[in-house]
Amino acid sequence: MLINCKRALFKVSGEALMGNKSFGHDFETLQTIAEDIKEVVNLGVQVCVVVGGGNIYRGIDAAVLGMERAAADYMGMLATVINALALQNTMEKTGIYTRVQSAIPMTTICEPFIRRRAIRHMQKGRVVIFAAGIGNPFFTTDSAAVLRAIEMNCDILFKGTNVDGVYDSDPKKNKDAKKFAELNYTEALRDNLKVMDMAAIAVARENNLPIKVFSIKKPGNFAQVLQDKGEFTIIKGN
């Protein structure tokens, strides 16, 4: 089958790595995510990943409790590095060559973020995992995902979540919640649908970066959604 996607960014939330746990990593979930990425790589698509840190530490929550926001966000960035290393280790056990690049240099354990090097890794068939957000406080990993996708010249951004798309309200709380098959960026911003933070959506709109939102919980779903199969919501157009 012809795949109309040469390069894609996969955004994985820290919460997704917990599985059914309340903290940390569920290693069966890590294995499933690794296998999903491997399936897409085997389709001939170059893949990069941005991982969140909410399973370990959420800077914005600590800021609410009184910690200085910048310091709290830096701690959250370090949590994403832990997650990136966990995902890298799991992926390499499945036979995928990977590189972790951190926006905060820590050369003992991973590479610093260098755009041209990251692109070269993907051209060689390696999966690049971006850690530490964009290296600055006050930006979410959703914003980091959009920015890295644009920098890497990705055709599309995939956001794996706990539900199978974007709804007008929380489907876990409202059984009558309406799911959207397609949205434009303006609708997502206007209706505050919480797909991503507003800054991320605004940058995606400015750069015409399509976003597909799908459930990460179903094994094999990444490859299915890549091929326009299964359940998802696509955000594109003004």
What phi-psi label fits residue 237: left (phi over 0), alpha (psi between -120 and 50 degrees) or beta?
Answer: left
Give the DSSP letter of residue 152: T
Instruction: Identify the pLDDT of residue 101.
Output: 98
Instruction: Identify the pLDDT of residue 233.
Output: 96
Q: At residue 63, does pLDDT exceed 80?
A: no
Give yes or no for a contact between 132 and 102, defined as CB atoms under 8 angstroms apart. yes
Q: At residue 2, does pLDDT exceed 70?
A: no
pLDDT confidence band for 82 (50 / 70 / 90): very high
Q: Does residue 191 lie within any of the structural domains?
A: no
Q: Does residue 194 lie within any of the structural domains?
A: no
> What is the reported pTM?
0.95
**3-class secondary structure, 151:** helix
Q: At residue 60, does pLDDT exceed 80?
A: no
pLDDT confidence band for 175 (50 / 70 / 90): confident
pLDDT confidence band for 10 (50 / 70 / 90): very high
What is the number of structural domains in the chain? 1
Angle at 220 between CA 17 and CA 159, to 5 degrees: 55
Q: Higher model confidence: residue 144 or residue 64?
A: 144
Q: Whole-angstrom Cα distance, residue 125 to residue 30?
A: 20
Chain segment 16-35, per-residue pLDDT in tens: 999 888 899 999 999 999 99
Q: Does residue 175 lie within any of the structural domains?
A: yes
The mean per-residue pLDDT over the stretch 78-103 comes to 97
Q: Whole-angstrom Cα distance, residue 54 to residue 62?
A: 11
The mean per-residue pLDDT over the stretch 173-196 comes to 91
CA 58 centroid distance within chain = 16
**3-class secondary structure, 162:** coil
Spatial neighbors of 42 by CB under 8 A, at least 6 apart, are: none
Q: Whole-angstrom Cα distance, residue 10 to residue 157?
A: 6
Q: At residue 1, does pLDDT exceed 70?
A: no
The mean per-residue pLDDT over the stretch 59-67 comes to 78
Q: Percentage of the chain surpassing pLDDT 70? A: 99
Choose among 147, 17, 161, 15: nearest CA to 85.
Answer: 17
Q: At residue 238, does pLDDT exceed 90?
A: no
Q: Does residue 46 lie within any of the structural domains?
A: yes
Write the CATH number for 99.
3.40.1160.10
Spatial neighbors of 100 by CB under 8 A, at least 6 apart, are: 81, 84, 85, 88, 109, 110, 111, 128, 129, 131
Q: Does residue 197 lie within any of the structural domains?
A: no
- Phi first, then psi: what are they for 175, rounded to 5°? -70, -15
The mean per-residue pLDDT over the stretch 89-105 comes to 97
**Is the alpha carbon torsion for 222, 228, 233, 234 positive or negative?**
positive
Q: What is the chain's mean pLDDT, rounded?
A: 93
Q: Does residue 145 lie within any of the structural domains?
A: no
Q: Containing domain of residue 83, as a range?
A: 7-140+152-185+206-230
Q: Does residue 190 lie within any of the structural domains?
A: no
Q: Please identify which residue in the block is written with the tokens 């897409």.
A: 40
The mean per-residue pLDDT over the stretch 47-57 comes to 95
Chain segment 124-168, per-residue pLDDT in tens: 999 999 999 999 999 999 999 999 999 999 999 999 988 899 999
Q: Does residue 193 lie within any of the structural domains?
A: no
